[in-house]
Amino acid sequence: MAADLNIFVTEETVESDADGPLSGKTVAVKDNISTEGLRTTCGSAMLDDYVPPYDATVVKRLKDAGATIVGKANMDEFGMGSTTETSAFGATKNPVDPERVPGGSSGGSAAAVAAGEADLALGTDTGGSVRNPAAFCGVVGIKPTYGLVSRYGLVAYANSLEQIGPFAPTVAEAAELLDVIAGPDAKDATTRDEGVNSDYAGAADGDVDGLTVGVPTELVEGADDRVVEAFEAALSELEAQGAETTEVSLESVGHAVQAYYVIAMSEASSNLARFDGVRYGTSASEASGGSEGERSEFSGESGGYEGNWNESFARAREEGFGAEVKRRILLGTYALSAGYHDKYYKKAQDARAWVAQDFDAAFEAVDVLASPTMPVLPPRLGESLDDPLQLYLTDANTVPVNLANLPAISVPAGEADGLPVGLQLIGPKFGEETIIRTASAVEN
Partner 1 sequence: MSDTSVDAEEVRHVATLARVDLDDAEVEEFAAQFADILTYFDALDEVPAVDDEAELVNVMRPDEVRESLSQEEALSNAAEAEDGFFKGPKVS
- Kindly list the catalytic residues: 30, 105, 129
Q: What is the DSSP string of 329-346?
A: HHHHHHHHSTTTIIIIII
At how many degrees (to 10) do helices 432-443 and 225-240 cross? 100
Q: Which one of 19, 199, 294, 350 is in contact with partner 1 (CB under 8 A)?
A: 350
Confirm or reject binding of residue 189 to partner 1 (CB under 8 A).
yes
Nearest to 134 by CA among 107, 154, 100, 162: 107
- Binding partner 1 (rule: CB under 8 A), the pick from 15, 303, 365, 382 is 303
Exposed e or buried b per residue across 196-223, where buried means at least 16 C-beta atoms within 10 angstroms of its C-beta = eebebbebbebebeebebbbbebbbeeb
Interface residue with partner 1 among 212, 228, 334, 443 (CB under 8 A) is 334
**Binding to partner 1 by residue 293, rule CB under 8 A?**
no
361 binds partner 1 (CB under 8 A): no
- Type of residue at 144: P
Least distance between partner 1 and beta carbon 413 (Å): 30
One of 295, 361, 414, 443 touching partner 1 (CB under 8 A): 295
User: 323-336 and 256-271 are packed helices; what angle lies between their axes, rounded to 10 degrees?
Assistant: 100
269 near partner 1, judged by CB under 8 A: yes
Q: What is the DSSP letter of 151?
A: -
Give the contact letters, 108-147, x = binds to partner 1 (CB under 8 A), - = no: ----------------------------------------
User: Which of 226/326 has CB closer to partner 1?
Assistant: 326
**Least Cβ distance, residue 308 to partner 1 (angstroms):** 5
- State yes or no: residue 359 binds partner 1 (CB under 8 A): no
Neighbours of 23 (CB within 10 A): 12
DSSP one-letter code for 367: S
**Residue 290: count of CB within 10 angstroms of its CB:** 18
For residue 129, give the nearest of 148, 150, 113, 144 by alpha carbon.
144
Q: Is the distance from CB of 153 to CB of 56 less than 8 angstroms? A: yes
Give the sheet arrangement for strand 8-10, strand by strand: 8-10, 68-73, 26-30, 120-125, 163-168, 140-143, 408-416, 419-426, 368-372, 212-216, 244-248
Least distance in Å: CB of 12 to partner 1? Answer: 18
Q: Which of 5, 96, 230, 348 binds partner 1 (CB under 8 A)?
A: 348
Cβ atoms 48, 282 nearer than 8 A: yes
| Number of neighbours of residue 441 by Cβ within 10 angstroms | 24
Q: Which stretch binds partner 1 (CB under 8 A): 122-130, 237-245, 332-340, 414-422?
A: 332-340
Q: How far apart are CA 429 and CA 208, in angstroms?
A: 19
258 contributes a contact to partner 1 by CB under 8 A: yes
Q: Is 196 a binder of partner 1 (CB under 8 A)?
A: no
The answer to whether residue 311 forms part of the interface with partner 1 (CB under 8 A) is yes
Give yes or no for residue 344 binding partner 1 (CB under 8 A): yes
124, 30 contact by CB (below 8 A): yes
Q: Which stretch binds partner 1 (CB under 8 A): 45-53, 84-92, 241-249, 365-373?
A: 45-53
Q: Does 347 bind partner 1 (CB under 8 A)?
A: yes
Task: Give the Cα-Cα-Cα angle 87, 89, 92 (nearest 5 degrees).
Answer: 70
- Work out whether 285 is an interface residue with partner 1 (CB under 8 A): yes
If one asks whether residue 249 binds partner 1 (CB under 8 A), the answer comes out as no
Rounded distance, CA 347 to CA 354, Å? Answer: 10
Contacting residue, 51, 215, 228, 416, with partner 1 by CB under 8 A: 51
Say how many CA atoms lie within 13 Å of 97 toward its Cβ: 17
Q: How far is the CB of 337 from partner 1 (least distance, A)?
A: 7
Binding segment toward partner 1, per CB under 8 A, in 27-35, 118-126, 167-175, 348-356: 348-356
Q: Which of 143, 151, 317, 437 binds partner 1 (CB under 8 A)?
A: 317
Residue 260 binds to partner 1 (criterion: CB under 8 A):
no
Between the alpha carbon of residue 286 and those of residues 75, 278, 419, the distances in Å are 24, 11, 43
Output the smallest distance, CB 142 to partner 1, in A.
24
**Residue 279 interacts with partner 1 (CB under 8 A): yes or no:** yes
48 binds partner 1 (CB under 8 A): no
By CB under 8 A, tell whether 360 contacts partner 1: no
Interface residues with partner 1 (CB under 8 A) are 49-51, 53-54, 186, 189-190, 254-255, 258-259, 261-262, 269, 273, 276-281, 283-286, 295, 299, 302-315, 317-318, 321, 323, 326-327, 329-331, 333-335, 337, 343-344, 347-351, 353-354, 357, 388-389, 392
